[in-house]
Amino acid sequence: MCGIIGLVAKEEFGVRDELLKGLKRLEYRGYDSSGFATSNGDFVKTVGEINNLLDNVDKTLKARTAIAHTRWATHGGVTEINSHPHFNKEKTLFVVHNGIIENFQKLKEDLELEGYEFISQTDTEVIVHFLDSKIKQGKSVKEALLEFEKTVKGTYAILAINKDEEKIYALKKDSPLALGITKTGFVLGSDIYAFSDKTKKAIFFDDNELAEITAEKYAFFDKEGNEIVKAPKTFEWEEAKEQELDFAHYMIKEIKEQPKTSKRLIESLHTLQKDKLKEFAKLIKDCKKLFFIAAGTSYHASLIGAYLFNNQGIDARTMIASEFENFSLVDKDTLIIPISQSGETMDVVSVLKEIKKAGAKVASIINVPYSTIQRHSDLSIETLAGQEVCVASTKTFTNQLIVLFALAKELGYEMDIEGIPDKIQKTIDENEEKTKEIAKELSQKRDIFILGKGATYPIAREIALKLKEIDYIHASGMMAGELKHGTIALIEDGTPVISLIPKSDLSMDSSTKEVEARGAKTIIISNNGGDFIVPDSDDAEFAVYSTMIGHLLSYYIGVELNLPIDKPRNLAKSVTVK
């Protein structure tokens, strides 16, 4: 889940202003530590956010070739020694890596027999010593990387540079990697965020591809070392420009962008993506078996999708991607619908590679164009939410729901999608001050329960997730009907319980009364009276507006607790490891 970047340019660039500015754009991928190295042999590594690295870099430091890394720790603790880049004993070969080397222990033992000493606890250090060993045996860096590819087990996007050589070597398997083509040279990055402020032209690495990049040219090779031709792609992307941030945090900015981003998507579904929407709906109608696969917030969206499609007589199921292989069977008559913000979620990507072997069709809902999931799909609809900087997904979730609403509408579900943007704005305008008020009370609680039913059950889980990841509060989102089968034993005097009650849902009213009878402090979100009143809608559309309340609550609780809202501890936005 780490972020890597490499720059090679015709003229010298400022390391602080160019390289680390690009790295900063990838900080959502991990922020335990960071570091860089240049072809001049300069390198700096620090623990913590990239700002700590910036504070330790001379503003005058320049280079023509450099690589950098921001880390989400997997192997080894959060220390400066474990930070990337890693290097050989002579400090002439530098490597950054995103992924996991599964057989690193065996590789390490073999290298130790050769006399190599390891100073870190990371799996990545074996890469640089393996390459160094092969180079000292007379192989080129390219040849060493090809041999490494045949030896290693795991996932990786690797950038390597040699001191005094103006060239970057890159190797990719499973972990994402792209090459941005600029007027002054090339930028390598874990995704298009790394360079989308500089260019809209990129080449996307496929698995088992190696590349050599200088300021003047690039060359791609297959796993046998044969040169291959890769054509650049042009992509469109809306930036989240830091200089335009008029809010205290990106999370609240992204919540309040939703009237605009939802409207943009709806217009696209009527125009540019209209044919894709109809083709997507046809795939749903024609399949014999349908599975959603997703993780985290996207999984909650998929639950809404299953609710909607089953409502239209389509047997749709959803499965958390990491458990898909244990509970699901697919064949050539199966349609798989992956949902992902980043389009790089490794749990989802791994499933797609396996189900494609069975001949299943894949139609995805993603936010990032040319992402791995989109490139593994037969058809894809883009949610057009634009760049989402906060680790917690908000505007992407809403747009995922809108895509699912539009598909359900194609299948016969009646809904006024066009009115959603204005109702989102109304929900924010009429409830934001109330969320601030209740957030003060909830910020003092350590346990919160959220109850839902049908279309609101996924939202109960989504709100609970935000309370966990943003506010570090133990929160449980659950089916209201399951309350009496054990969980009600946890209800005490003053325990906060948020009830999601669309219109007059008598069973939800009953469950709310049950917890009140045991002393719970209930907070009701409804379109028919309550603590938070949202616009009139059916149960599915109610999911959008009740989610807005939940996201606002989690945001303002985080403000009350003075927490790092955009960068919660232990998390990263794009989960590219299993």
Task: Tell which wins on pLDDT, 77 or 160.
Answer: 160
**pLDDT class for 237, splitting at 50, 70, 90?**
low
Q: Which residue has the tokens 């749709």?
A: 316
Of 199, 234, 269, the position where a domain reaches its end is: 234
Does the predicted model carry a pTM greater than 0.85?
A: no
Per-residue pLDDT, averaged over 355-363, amounts to 88
Q: Are residues 405 and 495 in the same domain?
A: no
The sign of the dihedral angle between the CA atoms of 378, 338, 545, 399 is negative
- Measure Cα distances from 566 to 251, 344, 399, 439, 469 in Å: 6, 20, 20, 18, 10
Task: Tell which wins on pLDDT, 103 or 329.
Answer: 103
pLDDT of residue 160: 97
Each residue's pLDDT tens digit, 441-488 = 999 999 999 999 999 999 999 999 999 999 999 999 988 888 778 888
Q: Are residues 409 and 492 in the same domain?
A: no
278 labelled catalytic: no
| Pick from 454, 442, 436: nearest CA to 503 | 454
Is the pLDDT reported for residue 244 higher than 50? Answer: no
Domain membership flag for residue 177? yes
**pLDDT class for 389, splitting at 50, 70, 90?**
confident
Of 188, 209, 234, the position where a domain reaches its end is: 234
| Percent of the chain predicted with pLDDT > 90 | 72
Each residue's pLDDT tens digit, 283-334 = 999 999 999 999 999 999 999 999 999 999 999 999 998 888 888 888 889 9
Q: Are residues 212 and 311 in the same domain?
A: no
Domain membership flag for residue 124? yes
Per-residue pLDDT, averaged over 512-517, amounts to 88
Q: Are residues 130 and 216 in the same domain?
A: yes
Q: Are residues 441 and 405 in the same domain?
A: no
Each residue's pLDDT tens digit, 36-45 = 999 999 999 9
Domain membership flag for residue 420? no
136 labelled catalytic: no
Each residue's pLDDT tens digit, 408-427 = 999 999 999 999 999 999 99
What CATH number is associated with residue 169?
3.60.20.10
Domain membership flag for residue 423? no
Q: Are residues 212 and 280 in the same domain?
A: no
Is the pLDDT reported for residue 575 higher than 90? Answer: no
Per-residue pLDDT, averaged over 323-351, amounts to 88
Of 184, 212, 234, the position where a domain reaches its end is: 234
Q: Are residues 73 and 167 in the same domain?
A: yes
Q: Are residues 178 and 78 in the same domain?
A: yes
Q: Are residues 187 and 212 in the same domain?
A: yes
pLDDT of residue 27: 86
Peptide bond into 496 cis (omega under 30): no
Number of domains in the chain: 3
Domain membership flag for residue 493? yes
CA angle 78, 97, 27 (to 5 degrees): 60
Domain membership flag for residue 389? yes
pLDDT of residue 90: 96
3-state DSSP call for residue 289?
Answer: strand
| Pick from 511, 509, 447: nearest CA to 479 | 511
- Mutual angle of helices 274-286 and 395-410, in 10-degree steps: 60
3-state DSSP call for residue 512?
Answer: helix
pLDDT of residue 573: 59
Query: Which residues partner with 100 through β-bridges?
Result: 155
Q: Are residues 327 and 265 in the same domain?
A: yes
pLDDT of residue 572: 64
Task: Tell which wins on pLDDT, 497 or 74.
Answer: 497
**pLDDT class for 240, splitting at 50, 70, 90?**
low
**pLDDT class for 247, splitting at 50, 70, 90?**
confident
Per-residue pLDDT, averaged over 336-350, amounts to 89
Q: Are residues 203 and 267 in the same domain?
A: no
Phi-psi category of 218—alpha, beta or left, where left has phi over 0 and alpha has psi -120 to 50? beta
Is the pLDDT reported for residue 239 higher than 80? Answer: no
Average pLDDT over the chain, rounded to whole? 92
Q: Find the domain containing 103 and state its range.
A: 3-234
pLDDT of residue 243: 42
| Pick from 518, 517, 499: nearest CA to 509 | 499
Q: Which of 172, 395, 468, 573 is catalytic?
A: 573
Q: Are residues 399 and 455 in the same domain?
A: no
Domain membership flag for residue 421? no
| Pick from 75, 77, 95: nearest CA to 87 | 95
pLDDT of residue 242: 45
Each residue's pLDDT tens digit, 66-102 = 999 999 778 788 899 999 999 999 999 999 999 999 9
Domain membership flag for residue 444? yes
Q: Which of 2, 108, 172, 173 is catalytic?
A: 2
Each residue's pLDDT tens digit, 1-25 = 689 999 999 999 999 999 999 998 8
**pLDDT class for 224, splitting at 50, 70, 90?**
very high
What CATH number is associated with residue 550?
3.40.50.10490
Is the pLDDT reported for residue 215 higher than 50? Answer: yes
Task: Tell which wins on pLDDT, 504 or 356.
Answer: 356
Task: Tell me the pairing of strands 521-526 and 168-173.
Answer: unpaired
| Maximum average pLDDT range among 159-173, 325-339, 507-521 | 159-173
| Percent of the chain predicted with pLDDT > 70 | 97
